[in-house]
Amino acid sequence: MSSAIKYNRSLIVYVLIASLMYLGIYMKNALLTFVGISLFLVFTSYLLTWDLLTSLSLSLLDINDELVVMKDHVILRIRAKSSLPLKIPAKITLICSPHLQCSNIDRDLIINGKQKDLDLEIKWFGIAKILGIVIKIVDPMGIVTNATFIKLGHDVVIEPKENAQLIIGKGLSRDLGNAVVFQSRSGDFVTLKEYDFSEPVSSIHWITSARVGNLVSTVRSEMGNLPKLIIMEYTPHMLKPANKYRPIDEALMYLRGLRSIGALLILIGNDITKVMNLSRIASLADLELRLRVLVIGMEGREELLERAKRLIGNYVNKLSNDDLMTWLYPVNVSKGLSNDEIKVLTRYLRKDSLLILSKESLSNLIRSNVDLNGAQVIVVGEGI
C-alpha cells in the first residue's frame, strides 16, 4: 500500500484536486470549487517551475572533473556548475566498467555546490572505463524527475600490483605468499661456508678446504630455472571472474613479476597466436583490454545495445561503438583453448617454458595427452 502511494503521488494529488473541483461544480458549492482551483494552480505552477528550472539547470550544466589514480583507489573529483545560479541537490550514478567499484559511492551532489570526491576502489587490473555520470534531480515530494547523462570517457590504466610476489617452482604452483621471483638458476654458485657434517660430502670445496686448512662447502642455489618462454592462455575463460580476481588478473601479476627477465611471451587463444617480448610490452593492462575487446566483439551489437540500454536507458544513443566495446564487460562468451590451439601450444612447449592457463584449459591439455613434463605450469583463476 505504502509503495503504491509512493510511486503514484502525482496521480493521487491530482485525483484529489479534481474531485474537489468537480464536487464543487456538482454541489454548486463555491468553496470546494475555489479550494480545488487554487490548489490546482499552486501545485501545478510549483511543479512546472521546478521542472523548468531543473531542466534549464541540467542543459546548462558544465562538469569539471579530474581523475587521480592511487594504489588501490581511483579518486574522481567532480564539480557540477550550471549557468543558472541555483544550488540544486542531485543524485549521481557513475557508469563505469566493473574494474572499479562504482555502485557503492555516495550519490549526493549539489549543482553549483562544492567539489565532490568519489572514491572508487580498484577491483581488477586492465584498462577501466569511466564512461560518464547520470545526474538525476527529483523534487522533494518525488513527483517530478529530471535527469541527464554526461559523458566523461576516462580510460583508467590499472597496471598489476608491483608488490605481487610469486613462486615459480617446478610443477604446479598456485601460492603467491612469502616468496619472491628467484634471480638465480638451479645449481648456481652462491657462496662458500664452513662445512656442516649434516651436508653431503659432495658439497665440500676441496681446493679451498686445502688452502684454508678447514672443511669448506659451497652453497648453491636450490631454486628452479627462470623461464625464457612464457605461454599464456588468451581466451574468454581468462576473463571469467573467480573470487576476488579473474584469471587474467593473476596472469598479469605473474607477468609483472617476470617482466625483468626478458622472456618471450606467446599468447594463444581466440584463434590467434601472438609472440612478443615481455620486457618490451609498454602496458600489461593493455593486454587485458585487447582480450576484452576481442571477446566482446564475439557478442552481437544488438545484444550489446540491449544490455547498455538496460543499464543507462536511452542515453545509449550518445555512445559510440568504441565506447560500448570498452565499457561493457563480456559475459556471454565462455570458451577455453580449442583443440587446434592446443596443437599450437604443444608446438611451442619446451622444457624451460612457463605455462599460464586456466583450470579448464589445463584439464583439456591433460585430456589431449600433452606432455607437460619439465614445463612449469601456473593455474590461474582459483582465487588468490
Partner 1 sequence: MKKNSLSLIISATILLAINIYVFKREPMTMGIIGIILLLSSCIIVMVRHGVSRYLFFIDEAYTVLALSVIQGTIFNSLVLAILITASIIIYLSLNGSFDMRVLALSSIMLVTSIILTYILYSLLRGFIIMYIEIINANIIYFTLVLASSISIFILFLINLLIKELAHKGSS
Instruction: Please tell me whether residue 14 binds partner 1 under the rule CB under 8 A.
Output: no
Looking at residue 381, the DSSP 8-state letter turns out to be: S
Degrees, nearest 5: CA angle 250-154-88: 125
Burial class of residue 169 in the structure, from the number of CB atoms within 10 Å of its CB (0-12 exposed, 13-18 middle, 19+ buried):
middle
Shortest distance (Å) from residue 43 CB to partner 1? 9
Instruction: Please tell me whether residue 64 binds partner 1 under the rule CB under 8 A.
Output: no
Stated length of the chain: 384
Kindly tell me which residue out of 45, 214, 283, 368 binds partner 1, with binding defined by CB under 8 A: 45
Secondary structure of 65-91 in HEC code, one letter for each residue: EEEEECCCEEEEEEEEEECCCCCEEEE
Secondary structure of 305-325 in HEC code, one letter for each residue: HHHHHHHHHHHHHHCCHHHHH
Instruction: Please tell me whether residue 33 binds partner 1 under the rule CB under 8 A.
Output: yes
Task: CB nearer to partner 1: give 143 or 204.
Answer: 143
Instruction: Please tell me whether residue 280 binds partner 1 under the rule CB under 8 A.
Output: no
Contact, 137 vs 110, CB < 8 A? no
Instruction: Please tell me whether residue 11 binds partner 1 under the rule CB under 8 A.
Output: no
The stretch near partner 1 (CB under 8 A) out of 45-53, 105-113, 183-191, 197-205 is 45-53
Query: Quick check: helix, strand or coil at residue 55?
Result: helix
Instruction: Please tell me whether residue 20 binds partner 1 under the rule CB under 8 A.
Output: yes
Give dist(CA 229, CA 265) in Å, integer.
Answer: 6
Task: CB nearer to partner 1: give 35 or 242.
Answer: 35
Degrees, nearest 5: CA angle 356-362-365: 115
Shortest distance (Å) from residue 177 CB to partner 1? 54
The stretch near partner 1 (CB under 8 A) out of 16-24, 246-254, 257-265, 352-360 is 16-24
Task: CB nearer to partner 1: give 300 or 313.
Answer: 313
Task: CB nearer to partner 1: give 88 or 100.
Answer: 88
CA dihedral 321→323→326→331, nearest 10 degrees, is -70
Kindly tell me which residue out of 37, 179, 261, 372 binds partner 1, with binding defined by CB under 8 A: 37
Query: Nine-digit cell at 73?
Result: 583507489
Instruction: Please tell me whether residue 8 binds partner 1 under the rule CB under 8 A.
Output: no
Instruction: Please tell me whether residue 183 binds partner 1 under the rule CB under 8 A.
Output: no
Give dist(CA 161, CA 189) in Å, integer.
Answer: 31
Task: CB nearer to partner 1: give 39 or 370.
Answer: 39
Kindly tell me which residue out of 15, 27, 190, 201 binds partner 1, with binding defined by CB under 8 A: 27
Give dist(CA 167, CA 163) in Å, integer.
Answer: 13
Task: CB nearer to partner 1: give 20 or 76.
Answer: 20
Instruction: Please tell me whether residue 192 binds partner 1 under the rule CB under 8 A.
Output: no
Give dist(CA 366, CA 43) in Å, integer.
Answer: 73
The stretch near partner 1 (CB under 8 A) out of 40-48, 95-103, 237-245, 249-257 is 40-48
Instruction: Please tell me whether residue 15 binds partner 1 under the rule CB under 8 A.
Output: no
Instruction: Please tell me whether residue 114 binds partner 1 under the rule CB under 8 A.
Output: no
Site for partner 1 in 122-161 (CB under 8 A): 139-141
Q: Pairing mode, if any, of strands 145-158 and 353-358?
A: unpaired
Nearest-CA neighbor of 229 among 353, 375, 344?
353
Instruction: Please tell me whether residue 80 binds partner 1 under the rule CB under 8 A.
Output: no
Kindly tell me which residue out of 11, 12, 52, 275 binds partner 1, with binding defined by CB under 8 A: 52
Give dist(CA 315, CA 297) in Å, integer.
Answer: 21
Task: CB nearer to partner 1: give 35 or 215.
Answer: 35
Size of the site for partner 1 (CB under 8 A): 40
List contacts with partner 1 (CB under 8 A): 20-42, 44-46, 48-53, 55-56, 59-60, 86, 139-141
